């Protein structure tokens, strides 16, 4: 980042499709958001995604502008067959631990390697992974479910940390989520605002995975009200929650909001962004890809603070070069360690012909 150029806006935004529209090009060039986040609507063949990413970075004038993607495995993976391999849900890896914990740790590390090998060749450098949430038995059945490695905090810590470390070793920045833990929520924060009544001691137990991943460059917040911490605001917008999170874990990296467009949050987009930044987020995510909402997120978030600029620069300066691994070979090794999924065919684990 040029020392003479103003810092980017403290926002990571989505875009509408597989190529930037003329109005998006003008907006990104003028607004200079910190980064871009990709969804299924943005994904075609690998070369098309590479062009989209290069176009964005050229427009904002920063070759180190981060590009994010949700690529956890299982239900949440934006890069899918035939161009990328299917990856197992973290919950399948957690289930393996019941019979062979060492194999589960190896599988968790392989998952990180396979994610990195999938995202790095197209220019994505931030994986919105791993899941650090501890699954509770009475929680919402779908929003977390098999996205979580397990229901035991120490096992989640062990497996998530293995995935996180292998991603970073492959040069991919990580965003353990959703701090301080989404696993107890009985509502889906995409649609409603969950309230968690767990005691402070229970919430502290849920921090074990985050404590195991303090080397991660970025953590992502949860849009959840934790009544023992702050009954008046979700963690994303609560200074009490985020100060407690940093104090209890010793985390000194960047904190990103979850998507501001989610219905758990109230108020206009700029108000949501302002509240998240005031609470202690370093930048916000706004993912739908509409320019009006993106402009509002940037207006509310303001510029990226000097400390955040320095933290990202420090990560990019020491980031390892991604190895030239074959994601399909890694995925095949990983699936071989797990119970085969009934709907998995050999075709989804075979690289397509050019």
Q: Which long-range contacts (CB under 8 A, 24 or more apart) does 20-24 make?
A: 20/52, 20/55, 20/56, 20/59, 23/291, 24/291
The set of residues, in sequence order, having a beta carbon less than 8 Å from that of 30 and lying 6+ positions away, is: none
The two beta strands, 126-127 and 177-179, are unpaired
Integer angstrom CA distances of residue 274 from 216, 260, 282, 301, 314: 25, 11, 11, 5, 26
Burial (CB < 10 A; 0-12, 13-18, 19+), residue 236, is buried
Integer angstrom CA distances of residue 267 from 69, 128, 263, 271, 332: 26, 25, 10, 6, 46
173 near 218, Cβ under 8 Å?
Answer: yes
Catalytic residue positions?
A: 190, 258
Q: Please report the sign of the dihedral spanned by the C-alpha atoms of residue 241, residue 75, residue 111, residue 183.
A: positive
Q: How far apart (Å, rounded) are the C-alpha atoms in residues 299 and 293? A: 10
170 near 117, Cβ under 8 Å?
Answer: yes
């Amino acid at each position: 980042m040029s020392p003479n150029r103003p810092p980017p806006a403290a926002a990571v935004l989505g875009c509408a499709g597989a190529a930037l529209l003329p109005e998006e090009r003008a907006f990104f060039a003028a607004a200079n958001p910190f980064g871009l986040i990709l969804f299924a609507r943005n994904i075609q063949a690998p070369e098309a995604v590479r062009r989209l990413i290069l176009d964005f970075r050229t427009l904002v004038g920063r070759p180190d502008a981060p590009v994010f993607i949700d690529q956890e495995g299982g239900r949440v993976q934006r890069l899918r067959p035939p161009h990328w391999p299917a990856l197992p849900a973290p919950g399948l890896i957690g289930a393996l631990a019941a019979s062979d914990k060492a194999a589960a740790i190896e599988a968790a590390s392989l998952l990180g390697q396979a994610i990195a090998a999938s995202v790095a060749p197209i220019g994505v450098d931030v994986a919105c992974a791993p899941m650090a949430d501890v699954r509770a038995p009475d929680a919402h059945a779908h929003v977390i479910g098999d996205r979580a490695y397990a229901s035991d905090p120490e096992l989640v810590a062990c497996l998530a940390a293995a995935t996180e470390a292998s991603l970073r070793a492959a040069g991919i920045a990580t965003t353990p989520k959703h701090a301080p833990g989404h696993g107890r929520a009985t509502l889906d924060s995409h649609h409603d605002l969950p309230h968690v009544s767990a005691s402070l001691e229970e919430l502290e137990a849920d921090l074990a995975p985050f404590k195991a991943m303090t080397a991660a460059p970025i953590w992502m917040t949860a849009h959840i009200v934790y009544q023992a911490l702050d009954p008046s605001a979700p963690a994303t917008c609560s200074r009490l929650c985020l100060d407690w999170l940093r104090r209890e874990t010793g985390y000194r990296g960047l904190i990103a909001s979850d998507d501001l467009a989610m219905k758990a949050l109230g108020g206009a987009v700029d108000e949501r962004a302002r509240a998240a930044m005031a609470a202690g987020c370093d930048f916000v995510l706004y993912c739908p890809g509409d320019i009006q909402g993106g402009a509002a997120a940037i207006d509310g978030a303001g510029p990226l603070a000097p400390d955040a600029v320095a933290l990202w620069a420090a990560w990019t300066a020491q980031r390892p070069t991604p190895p030239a691994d074959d994601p399909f070979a890694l995925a095949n090794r990983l699936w071989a360690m797990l119970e085969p999924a009934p709907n998995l065919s050999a075709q989804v684990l075979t690289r397509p012909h050019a």
